[in-house]
Amino acid sequence: MSDPILNVTGLNKSFGAVHVLHDIDFGVYAGEVTALVGDNGAGKSTLVKCFAGINAIDTGQMFWEGKPVTLSSPAVASSYGIEFVYQDLALADNLDITQNMFLGREITKGPFLADGEMEAKARETLSSLSVRTINSVRQLVSSLSGGQRQTVAIAKAVLWNGKVVFLDEPTAALGVAQTRQVLNLVRRLADHGIGVVLISHNMNDVMEVADRVAALYLGRVAAEVKKSETNTGQIVELITSGRSGTIGLPAATAVQSA
Amino acid sequence: MTADVSSAAAEFARRQQSPLQRIQHQLHGRPWLSPLFLLFVTFVAFFIATPTFLTANSMGILLQQTAVVAALAVGQTLVILTAGIDLSVGAVMVLSMMVMATLTKDGGMPGVLGLLIGVALAVGAGAINGLLVTRINLPPFIVTLGTLSIFTAIALLYSGGESIQQEHLPGLLNALGNDFGIGKFRLTWGIVVVIAIYAVMSFVLSQTAWGRYVYAVGDDAESARLSGVPSKRILLAVYTVAGLVYGIAAWILIGRAGAATPNAAPTANLDSITAVVIGGTSLFGGRGRLIGTLIGALIVQTFDFGLSQMGVNQQWRVLATGLLVIIAVAIDQWIRRVKA
Ligand SMILES: Nc1ncnc2c1ncn2[C@@H]1O[C@H](COP(=O)(O)OP(=O)(O)OP(=O)(O)O)[C@@H](O)[C@H]1O
Ligand SMILES: [Mg+2]
């Protein structure tokens, strides 16, 4: 088994008195899709934001290609090639598609924005994703539909040729055809050697596209299993009760956390 | 195929719009159009009402009167673009002006040095606002309400409440009040400086990454941060740059008023906010342009100037300005309700 390209050990995270993540060990593997599943409020988005340097972690150590790193801000994370599609998308409504895709990482000529160049790259990226639902990369994001916004957020993450991509419920607002495209894209990214983390509540999508599944239960990793060694029923049990047969959290922990 | 269907649908939707909705749509895309129209209407109205209004002499005076508010409104626009508000504009300007004048009075200090210290002080005052907003996370309204009183009090204490007339000041401090002629127009150097500020800041806002971050932070500081925009640093910079602009406005004001007076420009806060709002910048942040603010400042001053030429007294002019703000914000709300 190969080593993870990005991983964390012993991660704890509290918001004030609320202890949200407990002793998390979690890894991302190059060329594989890891599905991160768990009930609402299990801590999935919180964990993603720890990797983005948005949430400062209380304890724990992150490793990039085995070397200890501190991901202290989104800019640091992107300097390693870690990209994100956040659950709430984090797009600026008052900017257009191109401006959003390059926000925080604009291409400049001297002190000035190279808008033409950015526009061309934005168009290129969207067409490489075979997106046909967006007419102009100069359209304001405020005028886009939910699915179009999600597409832009994904394109924004893909644009940078990252080595690791986190997708927090990327298909939540998408129709059948668009969901299909995103799942294909997720697979394609992994096949190109990128480490992908996919958060989803849709078990069909998870089973179709994932190589491994990590289940969070009340802020703890209940289990991390290979897709080939599990099934939908087992994952659902892990999500809902933290254990399934011989795997999962010890009964005492599961009860105590609840 | 799909594209054809959707563009046909869009075409259908367009035909369904009433003329009013079409205007609404146009204004949504070009927020500076409605202030420009308002300015035009104001001009026509005063032209009809007073024969002396549209003369070179009057226009020159109008521009000179607009200069200070227009300068302040640049800083106010930056702050409002980030969804903040700055109630300390006038106080920072007056404090900076009193320091410049007191330091250089009767040859006490070279003009250049006094000017630099005064402007630096304004920059520092802006930075204090910014630090309170970003470090202690206080709402801009509260921060600048507090610093409004503090800076006003310091300016009064420091100057002993005394005005300093221009005869006692070095030439440099009075320089922006000097005028020159273009044809029949008399323009001051203060007007030139204001135009330069607008040109530079418009360029910075539209052509640099920093300018784009100002808009992104104004839309949603948290999601901008998720994209890697250093939201707090941008906010701090906005308040600091605003301070710089108020410092330059202080210099313009000395030239315009012919004196440094601790209770000068009592309506500076309200006028600057009015100019920004009438200029189409949204008080909710993230939307607006400096060119709109410039037009807004002209409207505010045109109203005041035109009414005073008609012999309307001060109280009625203030009342009219108040009405103007409410109408402008109501129009802004209406435009925002456009169906995208
Ligand atoms: N900034 C915050 N401050 C306080 N509590 C927070 C914060 N962010 C998240 N939480 C809490 O952490 C817990 C985990 O939230 P999180 O958003 O990570 O869940 P999730 O697994 O992504 O759920 P969902 O499937 O609904 O997206 C929740 O109880 C939430 O209220
Ligand atoms: Mg979530």
- pLDDT band at residue A146 under the 50/70/90 scheme: confident
Taking CA atoms only, the protein residue closest to ligand 1 atom 25 is A40
Let me know: does A164 contact A83? Beta carbons within 8 Å. Answer: yes
Let me know: does B87 contact B145? Beta carbons within 8 Å. Answer: yes
**Residue B234 pLDDT > 70:** yes
Where in chain A are the domains? Answer: 6-91+162-257
Let me know: does B72 contact B93? Beta carbons within 8 Å. Answer: yes
Predicted confidence at residue B26, as pLDDT, reads 75
CA–CA dist A76, A57 (Å, integer): 15
**CATH for A6-91+162-257?**
3.40.50.300
Question: What mean pLDDT do residues A167-174 have?
Answer: 87
Residue in chain A closest to B204 (alpha carbons) equals A112
Taking CA atoms only, the protein residue closest to ligand 1 atom 8 is A46
From the CA of A202, the nearest ligand is: 1
CB contact under 8 A, A90 and B226: yes
Of residues B3, B207, B226, nearest to A54 (C-beta): B226
**Residue A256 pLDDT > 60:** no
Predicted confidence at residue B331, as pLDDT, reads 78
Strand partners, A157: none
Q: Is the CB of A223 under 6 A from ligand 1?
A: no
**What's the pLDDT tens digit per position in A58-69?**
999 999 999 999
How distant is the Cα of A37 from the closest Cα of chain B, in angstroms? 22
**What's the pLDDT tens digit per position in B304-315?**
888 888 888 888
**Residue B10 pLDDT > 60:** no
From the CA of A21, the nearest ligand is: 1
From the CA of A42, the nearest ligand is: 1
**Residue B5 pLDDT > 50:** no
SS3 category, B156: helix
Lowest mean pLDDT across A66-70, B14-18, B55-59, B91-95: B14-18
CA–CA dist B142, A226 (Å, integer): 55
Let me know: does A141 contact A152? Beta carbons within 8 Å. Answer: yes
CA–CA dist B264, B287 (Å, integer): 31
Question: What mean pLDDT do residues A102-112 have?
Answer: 93
Report which of B129, B110, B98 is spatially closest to residue B171, judged by C-alpha positions. Answer: B110
Q: Is the CB of A9 under 6 A from ligand 1?
A: no
> If you count them, how many residues does chain B have?
340
**What's the pLDDT tens digit per position in A218-238?**
999 988 889 888 888 888 988
Where in chain B are the domains? Answer: 31-336
Question: What mean pLDDT do residues A34-50 have?
Answer: 94
Is residue A200 within 8 angstroms of chain B, CB to CB? no
SS3 category, B287: coil
Q: Is the CB of A145 under 6 A from ligand 1?
A: no
Predicted confidence at residue B3, as pLDDT, reads 42
Residue in chain B closest to A74 (alpha carbons) equals B228
Tokens for A118, please give them.
């950015």
CA–CA dist A182, A173 (Å, integer): 12
**CATH for B31-336?**
1.10.3470
Predicted confidence at residue B272, as pLDDT, reads 94
Percent share of chain B, pLDDT over 70? 94
CA–CA dist B107, B266 (Å, integer): 28
**Residue A247 pLDDT > 70:** yes
| A-to-B residue pairs, Cβ atoms closer than 8 angstroms | 73
Question: Which one of A94, A102, A105, A117 would you mutate to disrupt binding with B, by most B Cβ within 10 Å of its Cβ?
Answer: A94
Contacts of B238 (CB under 8 A, 6+ apart): B78, B79, B81, B82, B84, B130, B214
Q: Which of A11, A13, A14, A18 for a ligand 1 pocket mutation test, highest count of atoms within 8 Å of Cβ?
A: A18
Q: Is the CB of A38 under 6 A from ligand 1?
A: yes
> The sheet that has A195-199: what strands, in order across it?
A82-85, A164-168, A195-199, A33-38, A212-217, A220-226
Bridge-based pairing state of the strands A243-244 and A67-69: unpaired
**What's the pLDDT tens digit per position in B245-296?**
999 999 999 999 999 999 888 889 989 999 999 898 988 999 999 999 999 9
Predicted confidence at residue B107, as pLDDT, reads 81
Tokens for B165, please give them.
């007339």
Question: What mean pLDDT do residues B64-77 have?
Answer: 96
Of chain A residues 41-60, which have a CB less than 8 A from chain B? 52, 54
Residue in chain B closest to A135 (alpha carbons) equals B3
Let me know: does A97 contact A141? Beta carbons within 8 Å. Answer: yes
Measured between beta carbons, the chain A residues lying within 8 angstroms of B221 are none
Cα A252 to Cα A12, A84, A243, distances in angstroms: 20, 35, 11
Of residues A75, A113, A132, nearest to B209 (C-beta): A113
Distance from Cα B227 to the centre of ligand 2, integer Å = 17
Phi, psi of A69 (to 5 degrees): -135, 155
pTM: 0.89
